């Protein structure tokens, strides 16, 4: 067991899987010699060589297109898209090639690709770097979408993603890279995809979040308890596609209220799908409509005002009180 930051856990997951399986390759812009813009791939080039950790041209469509070809021939590539806003350049390769190759080929080929994508706000990045575009891939059948919130989950979920035979989009919150630490086993272990984690028990309202917003939700739960004695249950989705509906419904039928939190724009977001499914599956258990606390329906704003865009503890508490006062 060792104390690791979120990004150290990601680096170690890559290292142990490259050591275990010679078919695991790391590729992307500056991921080789320099170890990536955030140093998530530091030392992999020096340890495993230029044929297994290598730099690519600045062309996201070429990165993912090459990864699909490699995956179809037995490799398990882990390409990095340097920032989430650049993923539009390879949407065709991910959603119409990687996601469909198993069905299209009648099972002859698959695409065991793990696409690492730094995302999220709170770090004062330029335009198109902090976008939260996870809902695009939630709407792409055949793709799994994973978003860890802790160093432990980051390592275990990344190992599970690399070993999975389907394409996985692995979102990494830039805000968490070096802001949190936790004890993480140094050996290989897995955290199952598609299984949520109840990080705080409660009886009065269910808070559902993922990535950096899990920590904001926990702070809001603590504030709501201090201000009004509310016992909020907090669920970390960990995987948004497929998401763990059983855990969500189990919690909502206990608390009778739900607030969904994410920093992506509201319309058509993950919260919209979760709200719909909760109302479909548990409407008779609800004592108030599901509330969403999200980013706004605008492009991600300039860094000077990004704090006004992201969900805050106070905004989440307002959502909690709205469900209680309905």
DSSP E strands, the chain: 2-5, 24-28, 53-55, 76-80, 114-119, 144-146, 168-173, 181-184, 197-200, 205-209, 232-236, 239-241, 258-261, 291-293
H helical segments located in 84-142? 91-92, 101-104, 134-138
Same domain, 179 and 203: no
Length of the chain: 326
Output the pTM of the full model.
0.96
Does residue 190 belong to any structural domain of this protein? no
Domain that holds residue 29: 2-184
Same domain, 145 and 203: no
Specify the pLDDT at position 92: 95
Instruction: Kindly name the residue from 73, 129, 256, 279 that is annotated as catalytic.
Output: 129
Same domain, 67 and 106: yes
Name the DSSP class of 55. E
Q: Is 256 among the catalytic positions? A: no
Q: 64-93 pLDDT, tens per residue?
A: 999 999 999 999 999 999 999 999 999 999
Around Cβ 296, how many Cβ atoms within 10 Å? 13
**Residue 46 C-alpha from the chain's centroid:** 28
Same domain, 246 and 166: no
47: CATH: 3.40.50.970
Same domain, 260 and 236: yes
Same domain, 172 and 31: yes
Specify the pLDDT at position 273: 97
Does residue 192 belong to any structural domain of this protein? no
Specify the pLDDT at position 122: 86
Residues whose CB falls within 8 Å of the CB of residue 219, separated by 6 or more in sequence, listed in order? 313
**Cis link prior to 242 (omega < 30° from 0)?**
yes
Q: 180-212 pLDDT, tens per residue?
A: 999 999 999 999 999 999 999 999 999 999 999
Specify the pLDDT at position 228: 97
Does residue 44 belong to any structural domain of this protein? yes
Rounded distance between C-alpha atoms, residue 292 and residue 300, angstroms: 18
> Which of the residues in the chain have pLDDT under 70?
none
Segment holding 6, helix H or strand E: helix 6-20
Does residue 189 belong to any structural domain of this protein? no
């Amino acid at each position: 067991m060792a104390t690791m930051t979120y990004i150290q856990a990601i680096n170690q997951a890559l290292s142990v899987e490259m050591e275990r399986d010679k078919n695991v390759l790391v590729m992307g812009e500056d991921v080789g010699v320099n170890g990536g813009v955030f140093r998530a791939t530091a030392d992999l080039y020096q340890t495993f060589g230029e044929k297994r950790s290598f730099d690519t041209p600045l062309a996201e469509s070429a990165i993912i297109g090459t990864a699909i070809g490699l995956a179809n021939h037995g490799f398990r590539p882990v390409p990095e898209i340097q920032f989430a806003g650049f993923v539009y350049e390879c949407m065709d390769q991910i959603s119409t090639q990687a996601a469909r190759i198993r069905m299209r080929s009648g099972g002859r080929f698959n695409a065991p690709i793990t696409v690492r994508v730094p995302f999220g706000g709170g770090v004062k990045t330029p335009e198109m770097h902090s976008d939260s575009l996870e809902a695009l891939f939630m709407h792409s059948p055949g793709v799994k979408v994973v978003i860890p919130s802790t160093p432990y989950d980051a390592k275990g979920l990344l190992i599970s993603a690399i070993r999975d035979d389907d394409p996985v989009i692995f979102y990494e919150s830039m805000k968490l890279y070096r802001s949190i630490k936790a004890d993480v086993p140094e050996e290989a272990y897995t955290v199952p995809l598609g299984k949520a984690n109840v990080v705080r028990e409660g009886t009065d309202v269910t808070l559902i979040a993922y990535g950096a917003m899990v920590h904001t939700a926990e702070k809001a739960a603590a504030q709501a308890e201090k201000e009004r004695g509310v016992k909020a249950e907090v669920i970390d989705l960990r995987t948004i596609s497929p998401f763990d509906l059983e855990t969500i419904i189990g919690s909502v039928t206990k608390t009778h209220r739900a607030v969904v939190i994410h920093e992506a724009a509201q319309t058509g977001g993950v919260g919209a799908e979760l709200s719909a499914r909760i109302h479909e599956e548990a409407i008779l258990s609800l004592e108030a409509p599901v509330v969403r606390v999200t980013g706004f329906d605008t492009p991600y704003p300039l860094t000077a005002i990004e704090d006004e865009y992201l969900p805050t503890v106070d905004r989440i508490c307002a959502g909690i009180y709205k469900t209680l006062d309905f």
